[in-house]
Chains A and B, each alone.
Chain A
């Protein structure tokens, strides 16, 4: 096991990686598989993730050369120390075979800002340097990770020749609403492939894709927005890469993630997605329809904790937003869309309906306004927040008693609406064309 003491490292000229980190990687030598764990103050949870990854290696890839890499953003709670020292006791108890090779672990304090982009870039650079055939990224705060995740993420690349594997989670019907109502359908309509989790923090990629990613210019920008995963997904979907998804089961985060910031998440996820669609406009604008991507893994259902919303509050915040932000929305939305939104804002709670068509037009208007920078781009994204609340309020209201299958059907209907209205999107994107 190799250790690198944080703080002593200096980057070599023209390299992303610190000298000491490179020395440690050279000592490890070429590997077949790499699992990267980006961390920042995750000492409480990272141990479980390390154990799952290590057992995953031992159980599913005992003959392969493997390494676990930690890119830390400057934790003050001893995360790198926990990462390096956590022990995997009695692997036989977990039905894992004794690995035939040394299982390496390397930790480094990455260069640049403490965000996810710099950590991810460091891990990708390490994978490229070690000529890893397959590399998986896992969150440091996952409570539900198990050794099978490592197999499900890495095997399609290592054995089946895919370039990108994204996860397929089992979620409560009202969990991941930003993904199901916005990110998934929009990426699907743009890229023409039905990839369910375009903004996953767990994914795997091939050495070929790693090399391609390192050549991209989005990293500098991605450091500011902290959602580089969307860039990676869309680059793979729109480029010459084989993409698939793998079922991982339920996703449960540790305590740190309990209460998410809606405005901040929308700014990061939506802003990044709009920017990356803008950069790759020539590749997606001519695509129509969509096709399924290969899916691996064994889907199963478990009882999940109920997700509760205060619908009344969501709708009240929607109405306040529509009233107070009228002049801003006027600059962003098409006249007809704004009129319809103002009309539904007058409806009573039990009659409230933010229809699929209106929601899709709203998103396309926002994408166009963002592309044309009708006002400050950050303000455009923030103006979407009350409308998103309205849509979610309506979605929850409509599907309160719906089964998981019915929800899937509703999401599929929404996706088809996104695809049907793509011409409207292109019209709003560049109105002069």
Chain B
């Protein structure tokens, strides 16, 4: 009886040692992959920073207003943001690769899903960049046009344009990442619809006389107004 127990224990111990002997090199390989990944990510981040500095990416982003938009929400300038994102994506990819070296069968599917997901991160980043650029550009264009036309709510109009485009860009980025797809789309639709309805009601009630004047100006042939007799300052 004691012999049997001893034999079983020895067998288990041998199996455990065999498992450890089998697992340790894989663990070591994983650690090497992770450390190598960190090193590659570090070097890539350095290279990206340099290349973007040479391309004057941050100067362009500042001119186009993307930097200001990001700074407003507590994010670094776009060049630094890209470098950091690339660093983490590369390192995370190597970490996931390291996990796959361990050979844990249940993780394999998740790992392959992760690698399929990586391109979406970059597309989402691109969407956000272009979206923020467009938001700032069109907001500035709207502000200039409104100020030069002596429109009384110029700032409000510009803010509305900027927010609208930025929210649209964020929604598209989330959609690209597949995060809370339906919820984000519904939230966007409700918000957009509500704002439009609110504006329509506000204009309908508060600005009905303005609307009437605008329509009359467009549809009815009229006498020149007093200020039209004044010269253009050219």
Contact = CB atoms under 8 A, between A and B. Distances in A.
Interface of A: 174-178, 259-263, 265, 307-310, 313-314, 317, 320-321, 324-325, 328, 331, 373-376, 379, 382-383, 385-386, 388-389, 392
Given A374-B63, A379-B140, A325 B232 contact: no
B221 interface: no
A325 B144 contact: yes
Given A176-B234, A328-B140, A321 B229 contact: no
B20 interface: no
Contacts of B231: 174-175, 307-309
Interface stretch (B32-40, B41-49, B111-119, B147-155): B147-155
B138 to A, nearest CB: 11
Contacts of A374: 63
Most buried by A among B141, B144, B229: B144
Which of the four size classes fits the interface of chain B?
Answer: 20 to 34
Main secondary structure of the interface of A (DSSP, over half): helix
Interface string B192-232: 00000000000000000000000000000000000111111
Contact of B227 (A176, A177, A310, A385): A310
A389 B64 CA distance: 26
A309 B233 contact: yes
A422 B126 CA distance: 43
Nearest to A378: B141
9 contacts: A262-B232, A308-B229, A309-B231, A313-B150, A321-B147, A321-B148, A382-B144, A385-B144, A389-B233
Contacts of A392: 233
B99 interface: no
Given A313-B227, A328-B140, A375-B63, A320 B150 contact: yes
Contacts of A385: 144, 148
B143 interface: yes
Main secondary structure of the interface of B (DSSP, over half): helix
Contacts of B63: 331, 373-376
Contact of A324 (B141, B155, B228): B155
Most buried by A among B227, B229, B234: B234
Given A324-B143, A379-B140, A314 B233 contact: yes
B155 A386 contact: no
B234 A178 contact: yes
Interface of B: 63-64, 137, 140-141, 143-145, 147-148, 150, 154-155, 227-234
A202 B230 CA distance: 25
A208 B148 CA distance: 43
B198 to A, nearest CB: 23
Nearest to B146: A324
Contacts of B227: 310, 313
A307 B155 CA distance: 33
Contacts of A325: 143-144, 147
Contacts of A174: 231
Given A309-B233, A388-B233, A379 B144 contact: yes
A283 B137 CA distance: 34
Contacts of A373: 63
Given A386-B147, A386-B148, A379 B233 contact: no
A178 to B, nearest CB: 5
Nearest to B231: A307
Contacts of B148: 262-263, 321, 382, 385-386
B95 to A, nearest CB: 42
Contacts of B234: 176-178, 260, 262, 265
Contacts of B140: 328, 375-376, 379
Contacts of A388: 233
Given A324-B154, A376-B137, A379-B140, A260 B147 contact: no
A383 B145 CA distance: 9
A328 B158 CA distance: 13
A392 B232 CA distance: 10
A178 B231 CA distance: 13
Most buried by A among B141, B148, B150: B148
Nearest to A263: B148
A320 B147 contact: yes
Contacts of B155: 324
A262 B149 CA distance: 10
Nearest to A385: B148
A177 B233 contact: yes
B233 A259 contact: no
Given A177-B233, A310-B227, A324-B155, 9 more contacts: A262-B148, A307-B231, A310-B230, A317-B150, A320-B147, A325-B144, A379-B141, A389-B233, A392-B233
A399 to B, nearest CB: 13
Nearest to B226: A310
B144 A308 contact: no
Contacts of B233: 177-178, 262, 309, 314, 388-389, 392
Contacts of A375: 63-64, 140
Contacts of B145: 382
Contacts of A265: 232, 234
Contacts of A389: 233
A36 to B, nearest CB: 24
A325 B145 CA distance: 11
A341 to B, nearest CB: 15
A325 B144 CA distance: 8
A374 to B, nearest CB: 6
A308 B227 CA distance: 10
B158 to A, nearest CB: 8
B123 to A, nearest CB: 26
Contacts of B144: 325, 328, 379, 382-383, 385
A265 B154 CA distance: 22
Nearest to A179: B234
